[in-house]
Amino acid sequence: MSSCDLLLWRNPIESGKVLGGILVGLLIIKKVNLITFVLRVIYTVMLTTASVEFLSKLFLGQGLVTKYAPSDCVDIVSLLKPRIDECLKQLPALQTKARKLALASSPKCTFKAAGVFYVLHKFFGFFSLWTILFVGTIGAFTLPFVYQTYQKEIDATVAHGVEVGKAQASALQSTVTEKASPYVKQLDEKLGPVSKFVKSKLPATRTAGSTVTPESTTAKLAADVPLEAPATAKTSSADFPTAPSTTLGQSIKEEVSAASESYGAQAIKE
């Protein structure tokens, strides 16, 4: 039977047994010293079994405890090992999450966790652990059943309460704004240049349906910067170097003839 079936009382006999056992255990913890209780149970059982075994052997010739007692012990290892192994498999993931929270890998999540632990610290300071367990057990076996039975009525009441709370909060906010506006104006007048400087550094006020993002703010600032008109580049054929008018073959012939003439003139002089 699943825990959901137990809490919703789908089998009232089983749910009653579990609830009664938990409450009896909590009352024993509350009223009885657990260590002395366990020790008393142990020595009572031992004295009882020893007395029955001794007397039965003395008068019947055979011990009743050894005759009717189970020969094998309950295999607790095979019963607990799968559950312990399953818990150990989940331990590395829990360790990783705890390390990230403790070392502030995400400061936002670490702040939230610190706030939760602070609230729990205050809560356990006002109430004892036994009180929390007792009230929690009663609530676990009553609240789900009551909610399932009266779900429509409870949902309607909660929705109405949320709407009323929103209206009250809006009215309170408007009242506080009206009463605080004269003081804000006076403070603005007293601060003078400081107030103007702070206002100049504040982002643009958001209106309904508008969003202010770094991109939009940057684009607005860039749009306000005056830009010079780009200079148009004009090119003409005069800007390019002129190609030589002589061809490659003609220039080679001229160089060969000049070299031959200089060589002939030198030979004549010799």
Domain residues of the chain, as ranges? 165-200
Average pLDDT over residues 85-105: 91
- The token duo for 93 is 């993931």
pLDDT band at 48; cut points 50, 70, 90:
very high
Confidence band of 42 (pLDDT split at 50, 70, 90)? very high
pLDDT more than 90, % of the chain: 28
CB under 8 A, 24+ apart: contacts of 19-23: 19/137, 19/141, 22/137, 23/134, 23/137
**Amino acid present at 186:** Q
Mean pLDDT of the chain: 78
Structure-token pair, residue 251 = 């220039």
Residues 6+ apart with CB under 8 A from 5: 11, 14, 15
Position with higher pLDDT, 139 vs 268: 139
Q: Is it the case that residue 212 has pLDDT exceeding 50?
A: no
Listed residue (154, 157, 152, 127) closest to 143, CA to CA: 154
Which tens digits make up the pLDDT trace of 107-148? 999 999 999 999 989 988 888 888 889 999 999 999 988 998
Give the model's pLDDT for residue 71: 79
pLDDT digits (tens, 9 = 90+) for 214-253: 444 444 444 454 444 444 445 454 444 554 544 545 555 5
pLDDT at 262: 63
Question: In the prediction, which pLDDT does 93 show?
Answer: 92
Which residues have C-beta within 8 Å of that of residue 62, sequence separation ≥ 6? 56
254: which 2 tokens? 């001229």
pLDDT, tens only, 157-169:
999 999 999 999 9
User: In the prediction, which pLDDT does 32 show?
Assistant: 81
CB 28 within 8 A of CB 37: yes
Average pLDDT over residues 178-195: 77
pLDDT band at residue 1 under the 50/70/90 scheme = low
pLDDT score at 161:
92
Does the pLDDT value for residue 268 go beyond 70? no
pLDDT for 231 equals 47
Among the listed ranges 6-10, 87-91, 229-233, which one has the minimum average pLDDT value? 229-233
> What's the average model confidence in pLDDT over 91-107?
91
